[in-house]
Amino acid sequence: MTTTRADNDALEDRLLEFASQCGKVVDALPDTRMVRHVAGQLVRCGTSAAPNCAEAYAAGSRADFIHKLRISLKELHESRVWLKLWVKSQLLPPFRLVPFKDQCTELINIRGMSIVTAKANGTKRIRTPQQE
């Protein structure tokens, strides 16, 4: 299955929406020492998945492409752990975070499958969005 520019754009939009939600969730929290720490970590990792995705699409080699996808995946995994900590620390009620955490898990699954596919297609030429 070939990934189209529309697929790439849709995933990038989802990652940008996730980044935007990170900011909104952080802004809803009280200003405490714990919140500042956890919020800063979530903002950092939650907003970096989309730019790393964009860098992957501009990769010069398959290895670079996979590397950037892995970075994006790592940032999403880290985001999910920070969200779990928010629930454990009772910084926000679980009902406010469950949809956000579910969205993060879906993005992790999508990104993970992208890496599997890229590795499986290792002998094929990378199609960049500019070539579509």
pLDDT at 131: 54
Choice between 4 and 71, residue whose per-residue pLDDT is larger: 71
Residue carrying structure tokens 């501009």:
58
Query: Which H/E stretch holds residue 132?
Result: none
The burial class, CB within 10 Å (0-12 / 13-18 / 19+), for 116 is: exposed
Strands (E), the chain: none
Residue 108: CB atoms within 10 Å: 19
Instruction: State pTM to two decimals.
Output: 0.84
At residue 6, the pLDDT reads 80
At residue 15, does pLDDT exceed 70? yes
**CA 104 to CA 106: how far, in whole Å?**
5
Residue 50 near residue 12 (C-beta atoms within 8 A): yes
Say which CATH class 7-119 falls into: mainly alpha
Return d(Cα 128, Cα 132) in angstroms, integer.
7
Per residue in 82-130, pLDDT (tens digit) is 999 988 888 888 888 888 899 999 999 999 999 999 898 875 555 555 5
